[in-house]
Amino acid sequence: MAGRLKGKVALVTAAGQGIGRAIAEAFIAEGAKVIATDADEKKLAGLKAAKRLKLDVRSTKAVEALAKTITKDYGGLDVLANVAGYVHQGTVLECSEQDWDFSFDLNVKSMHRTIKAFVPAMLKKGGGSIVNMSSGVSSIKGLPARYVYGATKAAVIGLTKAVAADFITKGVRCNAICPGTIVSPSFEDRVKAVAKKTGKPLKEVRTAFIGRQPMARLGTAEEVAALAVFLASDESSYITGQPHLVDGGMAL
């Protein structure tokens, strides 16, 4: 189908690369007016969005300012896709207080900022869809060396359910996507980090990552984006407050 998001105004964070880029491109292809944001504005080059803007989701001031601008220009959002995040690698013994604070600020509090800033206009418009990026590594499944990452993504699921419950009768839906291991620049960064830490060749580390996947392959950003389109669209109008796995069976 085409035009599944026609007429909808959508904001996508971390739209410069990886899953965020794929979601922004999929939303655009389905007819949405996309405001694409990233902490590094240069990464947004080539994206045929209505607006391409630098946004630090760790700044309450910046998020609130953007919300005011979008409300003025578009009357608010129909879709909010919270994609920005960071994967810390390590156990509790390798997680400093700074690591903990940074991970929760970027992975969880950033969503608090955007939801708090954009929901009022959504309510005035009569509803909207919020899509939060969680992970299969969360309250769903634990993996080694994902201590604070798993904690943040579990918190995202809790946040998602709370927002869904608060606005369930007011037209605002909130769902979470829980990817497994997805091909992306951040995945390649993790491969390099593990190779450096263990002294193993990059190819061996990458093969080990793939070997842990039940489908014997990694997922693609486009496969995650397809789910995001569904959750953003009216096709999912009776779905809210749920974590949706796209993990190749990792959580089985």
Catalytic positions, written as ranges: 149
Q: Which two tokens stand for residue 199?
A: 């002294």
State the Cα angle at 103 between 94 and 207, rounded to 5°. Answer: 65
Residue whose structure tokens are 């045929």? 48
* Contact of 16 with 44, CB cutoff 8 Å: yes
Q: What is the rounded distance in angstroms from the CA atom of residue 88 to the CA atom of residue 146?
A: 7
Q: What is the rounded distance in angstroms from the CA atom of residue 99 to the CA atom of residue 79?
A: 30
- CA distances, 44 to each of 6, 15, 179 (Å): 22, 7, 23
Q: Which two tokens stand for residue 169?
A: 């009768």
